[in-house]
Amino acid sequence: METPKSPTLLPEESAASPGTDRTLAILEVLSVHGHAGKTIAEIARSLDLPQNSVFRIVDTLHERGYVERDSGRRYALTGKLLDLAKPKVGDKSLAACAFDALCELRDVSGETVQLAVRSQHRCVLIEQVASRQPVKVLGEIGLRIPLYSCAPGKAMLAALPAVELDEFFQHITLKRFTPTTLSTRKLLLADLAATRARGYSLDRAEGMEGIHCVGAVVLDGKDFPVAAVTVIGPSFRLKEAQFACLGQQCAAAAQSIRERLLA
């Protein structure tokens, strides 16, 4: 996976609102460090800001529920920002419309089922129903991974109009994460064509070794990809022989979600 980049402040003279710029930079710092969190002093050092300025901003974010503080006075992001950004189709919550179908797919597949959307050329996990198996694959809600290295991302890429797919290739650099990552445009385009032909996408340990997943795209009323559903599991249990059956199950779940969104 790619190493997160350290957030940086914009030059103050070019920032339309220095206070807003500092607030966003602090949120970005906290997003990089996840649940471990950062102290006021650590945030100030990483951004080269006065501690009193950082304290005022973080204290406001804490009061409004965007960050939480542990007993060691370390601050970490809560899920409030994600709540504000929960995807909708029309006036309907995508996650709410999908939840029953995700549960049904988990029950028939026996593996963890996830719902993902596109954001800034990444695949973002927005909902998950955990497998009941003792050994399972789980991801954090809000996890962002390259679109081309996972089944849900490739399901959405395969459904994009040609112009938007070209734009995607112009803005990203294909990298190899495992021996099976499709890290050339030719390989990826061939895989996307196969995805369109069969109606579901495959990830043969392309993002992380030892993990397989199968996915299908959720389309809106204009046949535009708004999300993707995926079954994900350890490769020792989720084997190639199961891909076709799981792919059909994912496609059925995606269609069920679409029907609820459009009802």
**Confidence band (pLDDT; 50, 70, 90) for 68?**
very high
**Which pLDDT band holds residue 3 (cuts at 50, 70, 90)?**
very low
- DSSP calls for 96-128: HHHHHHHHHHHHHH-SEEEEEEEETTEEEEEEE
For 12-83, CATH gives 1.10.10.10
Express each pLDDT in 205-243 by its tens digit: 999 999 999 999 999 999 999 999 999 999 999 999 999
Q: Is the dihedral of CA 63, 117, 228, 36 positive or negative?
A: negative
71-92: b (≥16 Cβ within 10 Å) or e: eeebbbbbeeeeeeeebebeee
Please indicate whether residue 142 or residue 232 has the higher confidence score (pLDDT): 232
pLDDT tens-digit series, residues 97-133 = 999 999 999 999 999 999 999 987 899 999 999 999 9
Whether residue 233 contacts residue 111, with contact meaning beta carbons closer than 8 Å, is answered with yes
pLDDT band at 6; cut points 50, 70, 90: low
Instruction: Give the pLDDT of residue 84.
Output: 59
Q: What is the CATH number of domain 86-262?
A: 3.30.450.40
Q: For the chain, give the percent of residues with pLDDT over 70.
A: 90
Tens digit of pLDDT for each residue in 24-34?
999 989 888 77
Q: Map out the domains of the chain as residue ranges.
A: 12-83, 86-262
